[in-house]
Amino acid sequence: MSEAPVCVVPYDPSWVEKFESEKTLLEKLLAPWRKGPIEHVGSTAVVGLCAKPVIDIMVGVTSLSESEPAKDILRQVGYQYAEYKTDVMHWFCKPSFEVRTHHLHLVPFDSALWHKRLAFRNLLRTNSSVAEEYAALKRELARKFEFDRDGYTDAKYPFIARVLSLSRAETG
């Protein structure tokens, strides 16, 4: 499977509109399996932050097993399913692996992953120094892992874990 290279670009205000448009589509399609809100996550959800120009969407579902039928429904509207972190989510991209405009994560509502993703997004939204440090890291990793999306993603985890750990320690 050929994949798009990692390319980090400056913040684009249209990302909010693109999320809202896709959210409207997904609300109806995923209603049978949804539990909780549809969230804009990832760097495109943080005003001013550079990002890969791919809208990350997290949908809370009742469970992974119960939401299995959603895979076929999503394929019908252009989402491609990938066997990626199948123990914690169903993962899709749109329109293809080579050209991506959206990543969709069906995650059990109230799970550890659900809370971690929201906590990190919220931290980036409220702490400009953490957001600036993360932006610099993303630009560096995009250069280093231009043709290795998994390497790029994996190399961000130590930073994410560190800042979430510090944030939890500060809030007690």
Q: What is the pLDDT of residues 57-112, one digit of tens each?
A: 999 999 999 999 999 999 999 999 998 898 999 999 999 888 899 999 999 999 99
Which structure tokens are listed for 101?
A: 């405009």
Q: Which CATH number fits domain 14-166: 3.30.460.10, 1.10.8.350, 3.10.20.30, 2.60.40.10?
A: 3.30.460.10
Domain boundaries, the chain: 14-166
Peptide bond into 32 cis (omega under 30): no
- CB burial of residue 99 (10 Å; 0-12, 13-18, 19+): exposed
Q: For residue 120, what are the contacts with CB-CB under 8 A and spacing of at least 6?
A: 160, 163, 164
Consecutive H or E run containing 104: strand 100-108
pLDDT band at 171 (very low <50, low <70, confident <90, very high): low
pLDDT band at 167 (very low <50, low <70, confident <90, very high): confident
**Can you give the pLDDT at residue 1?**
45
Calculate the CA 105 to chain-centre distance.
7
How much of the chain, in percent, has pLDDT values that exceed 90?
A: 86
